[in-house]
Chain A
Amino acid sequence: MTPTILTPPPTSAPRRLPPGVAIIVPAYNEEETIADVVAAMRALRPAHLIVVDDGSRDRTAQISERAGALVIRHPINRGAGGAIATGLAAAQRFGVTIAVTVDADGQHVADDVLAVVAAVEAGEADLAIGARTRSPGMPRTRRLANWIANVLTFIVFGTWVTDSQSGLRAFSRAALERLRLRGSGFEVSSEIVGEIGRLDLRVREVPIRAIYTAYSMSKGQSFTNGLRTFGHMLLRRF
């Protein structure tokens, strides 16, 4: 299945989310950026703004709470996949119509959150993925790593997307109810792509800007971590 690339909505569109949308921010030791991310997302007036603090050892939870987010706190660190699935489970409990996941390192901008939500809200997709691959801001090393991850994801799960590792995704309620995420770590990104094929979800990739800072680069996956992620991905097939 090859997803369609949509063009972003015009900038004159209202900078506010439709009703019933939850924003989920999985976060681990993000005290430097979380306040700004929560403030930027709050400005979109989501029905629920959930920060899943994945057992941080810093003040991520307190800062998020003070910034106005609903904080769900993992007592111990479980990894990005565990945190995302917790956020999605909470969103499902709240009965949201759309759930969006946003990275806590400040990589995503509010306009792009609106864009992925719009794709799902229009009823064109069960899952919209913010694709950074057309953004000129993406460093070459990241572009290459991303392409390798896309190929491995395709080999393991049989579904091709141009940005399998993007953290900006919008899920419809129907997709939320059917998703079954089992991975605890970064392999969850590929696992979600795998679910597209398994559940025959309608998917759209929406071009988004990629904001890379020294901070967000330091938060990415290392090569050895990438290998471990691939090992976990393979294991998902057993």
Chain B
Amino acid sequence: MRPIQIALLVLIALALGKVVRRFRQGRVRLFDFIFWTAVWGVGALFVVWPNITTVLATSVGIGRGVDLVTYVSFIALFYLVFRLYVRMEYFQRDITELTRHLALREMTGARPADADERRESPRP
């Protein structure tokens, strides 16, 4: 096994360890735990047996295995960034709604003119 493979396996092991730890702590849902374990597991397989990627690449019409890995990683990263962006938008929306809720609860300043008029006029 080459040094780069060992280094990558150590990194994958650390990442897997973190996923397991977070799952045990209840900070990661079961679906996410399975998803990330599968992602890092497949990564480990590719590191140990790099020829798998070449076989897969050839089967989909791409010459080298490393090219396939690069393309797939690129698409996956784009997708992840998009998901994060959407999620951030939802957070922003929630913060705005919370801010609005607080602001409306603590209105200050001039009383509405209509309210003054209503107060002055006799009840129907």
Contact = CB atoms under 8 A, between A and B. Distances in A.
Nearest to B114: A47
A48 to B, nearest CB: 5
Contact of B104 (A47, A51, A68, A93): A93
Contacts of B110: 49, 65, 68-70
A65 B113 contact: no
A46 B113 contact: yes
Contacts of A85: 96, 100
Interface stretch (B20-28, B67-75, B86-94): B86-94
A184 B96 contact: yes
Contact of A235 (B86, B100, B106, B111): B86
Contact of B112 (A70, A74, A182): A70
A64 interface: yes
A172 interface: no
B1 interface: no
A47 B115 CA distance: 9
B78 interface: no
B60 interface: no
A71 interface: yes
- The size bracket of the interface on A is 35 or more
Interface string A226-238: 0000001001001
Contacts of A232: 89
- The size bracket of the interface on B is 20 to 34
A75 interface: yes
Interface string A55-70: 1000001001100111
B59 interface: no
A52 B102 CA distance: 13
Main secondary structure of the interface of B (DSSP, over half): helix
B4 interface: no
Nearest to B95: A78
A235 B112 contact: no
A140 to B, nearest CB: 34
Contacts of A81: 96
A41 to B, nearest CB: 12
B106 A89 contact: no
Given A182-B93, A184-B92, A232-B89, A73 B111 contact: no
Contact of B100 (A20, A86, A94): A86
A75 B103 contact: yes
Interface string A10-52: 0000000001100000000000000000000000011111011
A235 B91 CA distance: 14
B103 A65 contact: no
Given A45-B113, A72-B104, 18 more contacts: A19-B114, A47-B114, A49-B110, A55-B99, A65-B108, A68-B109, A70-B110, A71-B109, A72-B107, A73-B108, A75-B102, A78-B96, A89-B104, A90-B104, A90-B107, A94-B114, A182-B93, A232-B89
Interface of A: 19-20, 45-49, 51-52, 55, 61, 64-65, 68-76, 78-79, 81-82, 85-86, 89-90, 93-94, 182, 184, 232, 235, 238
Interface of B: 85-86, 89, 92-93, 95-96, 99-100, 102-104, 106-114
